[in-house]
Amino acid sequence: MATITKKELIDRIAEGTGHRRVQVKRVVQQFLDEIIGELGKGNRLEFRDFGVFETKLRKARKAQNPKTLEPVEVPEKRTVKFKVGRLMKQRLAEMTGAAIDDEAGDVAEMADAGNDEAEEAEETHQTPPAPQQM
C-alpha cells in the first residue's frame, strides 16, 4: 500500500485538467483550509456520497499508565471523525473486493438516507433510486 502526498495529487489533477500546477495547488490548499476552518467552528461538512467530516468532543476520563499502573486524568478533547459515504463504500468494495465498515450503526443511517431519497423523489414525481444491497 502506497502513501500519496498532496503534491502528487496536485500533479495528477493539473495533468488531468490541463491547468497550471500553481493554480491547482492554490485551489486544493484553499479547499483544505476551508475544511479546517469549518471544523474549527464546530460545523459538520457533508460531501454527498463521499463522506462526512465532523468534530466530536471526547469527555474527560480516568485512564491508567501502563508502565506504572498509576491512575491518570485524561482531559476532554475535540477529535475529527470521518464517516465514509455510500458511493465511496461501494467503489472501494468494488476495487478491493472487501466490504468497508466505517462504524457500527451506519446501516440504519443508510436506510434512513434511502427513505429521504424516496421522499425527495415523491416530491419531484421521480422514480426513487433502488435500495443498495450490502
According to the model, what pLDDT value does residue 131 have? 44
Residue 108 pLDDT > 60, yes or no?
no
What is the overall mean pLDDT for the chain? 82
* Mean pLDDT of the 91-120 span: 60
Measured distance CA(90)–CA(98) in Å, rounded: 10
According to the model, what pLDDT value does residue 34 have? 97
* Mean pLDDT of the 16-24 span: 97
Q: Where is pLDDT greater, at 128 or 20?
A: 20
Q: Where is pLDDT greater, at 116 or 100?
A: 100
According to the model, what pLDDT value does residue 98 have? 80
Neighbours of 80 (CB within 10 A): 11
Measured distance CA(107)–CA(7) in Å, rounded: 35
Cell 472501494 belongs to residue = 92
DSSP single-letter state for residue 98:
S
Q: Where is pLDDT greater, at 131 or 71?
A: 71
Percent of the chain with pLDDT over 90: 63
Residue 44 pLDDT > 90, yes or no?
yes
* Mean pLDDT of the 117-128 span: 44
